[in-house]
Structure 1
Amino acid sequence: MTAVRSAPGKLFVAGEYAVLEPGSPAVLAAVDREITVGATSADDDLVIDSDIADQSLRLSRQDNGFPANTGMPHVVSAVETVGELLAEYGRSLPGVKLSIHSGLHHAGVKIGLGSSGAVTVATIDALLAFCGMSLTTEDRFRLALLASVRLDARTSGGDLAASTWGGWMVYQAPDRTAVADLSRRKGVRAALEAPWPGFAVRRLPAPRGLAVEVGWTGNPASTSDRVGSGSVQDWRGSQAYREFVRRSGACVDALVDALEADDDRMVLKEIRRARRLLATVDDQGALGIFTDELTAMCDAAEAVGGAAKPSGAGGGDCGIALLEPDQGVLDRVRARWLAAGVVPLPIKLYEPERTHAGDR
């Protein structure tokens, strides 16, 4: 049998960087582009075929797991985490081939829509289905976060939440170091069942009277590299950062209220406020969040009464704009983006009213 599962990419609407702190909120939205993973039986322990890799990987399980530095670390970590959970139930992961197709890349280049998170979620979902194991939505998210923090405990998990639940949401991260330690000490199953202080996720309505546009700078940026950089780490230890987290939380809370009240004017106001918060700390700490392209993208949206900001850690990748759904307005913004080197992407946001691809 083949089990096929897909997971959408994401956009950060507000709350970047602050969401790294346990309990600090961010608003995210899933997009209509996905990563799809198919799992089927294989003679080898693990075979990975991906349309973004140069070659097929054939990996043998060693005493301490699969080899490191395979070029597909998030996939391998997801496989190992599912394998450990199965072992705790007295089962073993059979030889499996994973076939991966990405809609979150352009000509093999990631465009900043959370491809690492989406491939982790899709891999876990496909493996669970392949092995005939059913978990709740929250437990599937928890399993994905456990797989991710093995690679980098700094990840917020927001991308995983968007890929798991879909739609618009407000998300608060748990203490990922504590979660990883719990998994090491007591096992994956115990970590799934234990309380995760700080963690919360809640669905939000999408804005009904605004168009959402996505602009790509053409320059990929690594979130983990940016979050782990010396300048960001120095900033996170400062009083200015603590004040930023407080102000970001207030902005996200107000944005959540505006979305739930269907108040488009206030939604735009809070997106502009989120942009200013990021710009202020970028100037203070020379963090490199805003590139010339991202600044031009935001300015073009605000020039027509809209709002825009980088989506995620910045330094490249893409940005999100909310605009009046008037074709003339959209055409003017897209033309200014193209003139500034920003590529308008045909990406839509969606609510998760879909079913999994069928097993066959």
Structure 2
Amino acid sequence: MYNSYKIKVPGKLFIAGEYAVLEPGNLAIVIAVNRYMETEIKAYKENQLHLPQLGYDSVSWSWKDGELTFHPEGSKLAFIKNAISLFYTLLQENSVEIRPFALSITSELDDVSGKKYGLGSSAAVVVSVISALFHFYQNEKIKPMKENIFKLAAMAHIKTQGNGSCADIAASTFGGWLGFSTFELNWIKKQIEEKVHISTLLSEQWPGLIIKPLTPPEYFNLVVGWTSSEASTAPMVNIVMKLKQEQPSLYDLFLKESKIAVNNLINSFLDDNGKIAIDSLKQNRMALKKLGEHAGVNIETPQLESLIRIANKYGAGKSSGAGGGDCGIAFITDPSLVTPLQNEWQSHGIMPLDIQLSKDGATIEPLLERK
């Protein structure tokens, strides 16, 4: 047993299936990337949270009558607060004594200047906290299996944000290339509202949830570029959901086109066929472009359009995630074309990012043996 751990959690990057992944039964492809959230947890005399990059040098908290109170409170702490609160509930369900700890969190998901790349910092911080707590409290009832970490982190995310597929949480938890289909959102919300035991929810099969590892073609290069502008996902999702309500036939057409493109992409992986992978990425890009036009949401900004246009000369490009800024990606089968692509991106104000795959997801290193 140990009383001090270091947790390293990767960020994420969407490859295909954005927006459609909000509907159960529609696969997306997401990867974990080698930019990390690092967390240290240790036994301490009092509860203490250290978040220097968010301007919180010392936050304490109290737990009374099933309610967690931070001192001081802050909107930026909401994900962490809900993560700890849900975990405390799990401890109480299993009659595990709550003991104080110190938690320190730092991030390299964003640029040192504070620029946000859209690599999933909110998901990574929830996975970091839940991973840390599962290992700090682990016993025969509190088991730090990745499936448990994903499910409890997803619950904390939904409790905080109210929507989202949680594909980013899957990437941060499991690592590598993943095919992901989300769970029934209304089902899990109902379970949380009805206060179904968390232990029960961790042991159950969640309706619709699929998480499966993928292997891309052997001769295949993923290149990432940043458009120098940040995007906010939630407002864009709300606009797309308005299209679903007001013009369901157009929304259903998008789902159909996205599903065909993503299934073709997954099949290209299974067949080790880089050319079909490139064609499939173009298919998914066109489905998203039409969705943006129908919904009146700016999925492809001028910079993303420029990124894609340049990428299509060398292979295929598309936006990554909700769009509206942040990153775009390119698939290339010839590695000698990577540098020319990146140079042309730079000449158009697009910053190539040195981002590689993170294979392992959340990793844990014991730091101090209990005496």
Same fold (TM > 0.5):
yes
The structure-2 alpha-carbon separation of the partners of 1:36 and 1:354, relative to structure 1 and needing over 3 Å to count, comes to closer
Paired amino acid for 2:187: A
Paired amino acid for 2:46: D
Q: 2:161 is paired with a residue of what secondary structure?
A: coil
Paired amino acid for 1:359: L
Q: CA deviation at 1:76?
A: 1.7
After superposition, the C-alpha distances for 1:31-76 in whole angstroms (9 at most, x for unaligned) are 111111111123333x222242123241322542234634222222
Q: 1:209 is paired with a residue of what secondary structure?
A: coil
The reply on whether 1:141 has 2:181 as its aligned counterpart is no
The structure-2 alpha-carbon separation of the partners of 1:258 and 1:105, relative to structure 1 and needing over 3 Å to count, comes to same
- Structure 2 residue aligned with 1:116, among 122, 140, 145? 122
CA contact (8 A) 2:7 2:363 kept: no
How many percent identity over aligned positions? 29
Q: 2:307 is paired with a residue of what secondary structure?
A: helix
Q: 2:45 is paired with a residue of what secondary structure?
A: coil
Match of 1:6? 8
Paired amino acid for 1:77: N
Match of 2:179? 170
The reply on whether 1:17 has 2:26 as its aligned counterpart is no
Match of 1:313? 322
Q: CA deviation at 1:139?
A: 1.6
**CA distance in structure 1 between the aligned counterparts of 2:362 and 2:13, rounded to whole angstroms:** 19
CA contact (8 A) 2:10 2:36 kept: yes
Q: 2:173 is paired with a residue of what secondary structure?
A: helix
CA contact (8 A) 2:10 2:361 kept: no
The reply on whether 1:159 has 2:160 as its aligned counterpart is no
CA contact (8 A) 1:255 1:266 kept: yes
Match of 1:294? 304
The structure-2 alpha-carbon separation of the partners of 1:355 and 1:325, relative to structure 1 and needing over 3 Å to count, comes to farther
The structure-2 alpha-carbon separation of the partners of 1:183 and 1:209, relative to structure 1 and needing over 3 Å to count, comes to same
CA contact (8 A) 2:345 2:351 kept: yes
CA contact (8 A) 2:83 2:153 kept: yes
Which structure 2 segments of 5+ residues have no match?
none
Paired amino acid for 1:257: N
Q: CA deviation at 1:354?
A: 9.0
CA contact (8 A) 1:217 1:316 kept: yes
Q: CA deviation at 1:153?
A: 2.6
CA contact (8 A) 1:3 1:127 kept: no
- Structure 1 residue aligned with 2:69, among 66, 69, 84? 66
**CA distance in structure 2 between the aligned counterparts of 1:218 and 1:50, rounded to whole angstroms:** 25
**CA distance in structure 2 between the aligned counterparts of 1:354 and 1:312, rounded to whole angstroms:** 21
The structure-2 alpha-carbon separation of the partners of 1:353 and 1:200, relative to structure 1 and needing over 3 Å to count, comes to closer
CA contact (8 A) 1:15 1:27 kept: yes
**CA distance in structure 2 between the aligned counterparts of 1:350 and 1:192, rounded to whole angstroms:** 25
After superposition, the C-alpha distances for 1:64-108 in whole angstroms (9 at most, x for unaligned) are 223463422222221111111111101243222211121201122
- Structure 1 residue aligned with 2:294, among 281, 284, 291? 284
Provide the TM-score with structure 2 as the length reference: 0.91
**CA distance in structure 2 between the aligned counterparts of 1:219 and 1:157, rounded to whole angstroms:** 23
Match of 2:240? 232
After superposition, the C-alpha distances for 1:277-307 in whole angstroms (9 at most, x for unaligned) are 1111112222111111111111111012x11
Provide the TM-score with structure 1 as the length reference: 0.93
CA contact (8 A) 1:15 1:26 kept: yes
**CA distance in structure 1 between the aligned counterparts of 2:60 and 2:243, rounded to whole angstroms:** 40
CA contact (8 A) 1:153 1:177 kept: no
**CA distance in structure 2 between the aligned counterparts of 1:84 and 1:167, rounded to whole angstroms:** 31
The CA RMSD measured in Å over matched residues stands at 1.8
Q: What are the residue-to-residue correspondences of 1:125-274 with 2, within 5 Å?
A: 125-132=131-138, 133-185=142-194, 186-228=196-238, 231-237=239-245, 238=247, 239-274=249-284
Q: CA deviation at 1:260?
A: 1.1
Paired amino acid for 2:43: S
The structure-2 alpha-carbon separation of the partners of 1:172 and 1:343, relative to structure 1 and needing over 3 Å to count, comes to same
Q: 1:245 is paired with a residue of what secondary structure?
A: helix
Paired amino acid for 2:123: G
The reply on whether 1:359 has 2:367 as its aligned counterpart is yes
Bigger drift between 5-14 and 92-101 goes to 92-101
Q: 1:4 is paired with a residue of what secondary structure?
A: strand
